[in-house]
Amino acid sequence: MGLSLIEGFTKSLAMTVLSEIGDKTFFAAAILAMRHPRKLVLAGCLAALIVMTILSVSLGWIAPNLISRKWSHHITTVLFVGFGLWSLWEGFKEESESEELAEVEAKLNADWKAETGSNKGNTKGSDDLKKQQRPFLTQFFSPIFLKAFSITFFGEWGDKSQIATIGLASDENPFGVVLGGIVGQALCTTAAVIGGKSLASQISEKMVALSSGILFLVFGLQSFLAVAAAAAAK
């Protein structure tokens, strides 16, 4: 139990860090933190990522109870190999290091202009006064918190990292996968919020894609060897 927990934790941590650094939600958190209070952006992004991690691991934990463990192993192996090849292909074809950052920034800029245009009558002083008068707990359900939560949650839904987490949870200790995923998400999101655009612009999307591709292929090979060893033991 202890070894399986540690293995699930380390695999999930490594996969999450390499999947999330340079991801769209990473860039979104960095840009949002430049325009809104960091604590609200961090709280919203982390809440979304924790909910998404728990949901993904729950699906992965349920999967072997719906289909045979043999087939869940096969599906997980195919997913890891497929994502590994996909990530390597993305890494080799990557030309502009900041293409995804520019895409996310352009979208958020459009949203920002729309918001500021509709709120021209509000002065900065009155906004600050309202924030000070608002109870501490209700700040975390403010439009800023909800915006950070929704952008992150829907940005991660159906993403490669979510599907990989489901596959990993079907193969490894689900508690270890949850813990590793949450720690990895917390590290990446905190770095994005604190570092802002200056940190995001320094990240090589090409190297992140190549590294995550290699990691996925290693996980796929390990899953394949585990299935082969189990078959040979029968």
Res. 23: pLDDT tops 90: no
105: enclosing H helix or E strand: helix 99-118
pLDDT in tens, 166-199: 888 888 889 999 999 999 999 989 988 888 766 6
Query: Span 147-160, mean pLDDT?
Result: 85
The pair of three-digit structure tokens given for residue 200, joined into one six-digit string: 């995001």
Question: CA-CA distance, 165 to 142, in Å (whole number)?
Answer: 30
Q: Is the pLDDT of residue 98 over 80?
A: no
As given in the structure block, the two tokens for residue 1 are 């139990």
The percentage of the chain sitting over the pLDDT mark of 90, rounded to a whole number, equals 16
* Rg of the chain in Å (alpha carbons): 20
Global confidence as pTM: 0.71
Closest by alpha carbon to 166, among 13, 11, 9, 61?
A: 61
Task: Specify the pLDDT at position 88.
Answer: 87
- For residues 15 and 165, is the Cβ–Cβ distance under 8 A? yes
Q: Are 61 and 174 in contact (CB under 8 A)?
A: yes
Q: Rounded to a whole number, what is the distance in angstroms from the first to the last CA of the chain?
A: 23
Pick the closest to residue 82 from 230, 186, 217, 187 (CA basis): 217
Q: Which residue has the higher pLDDT, 113 or 20?
A: 20
Tokens of 182: 């949450």
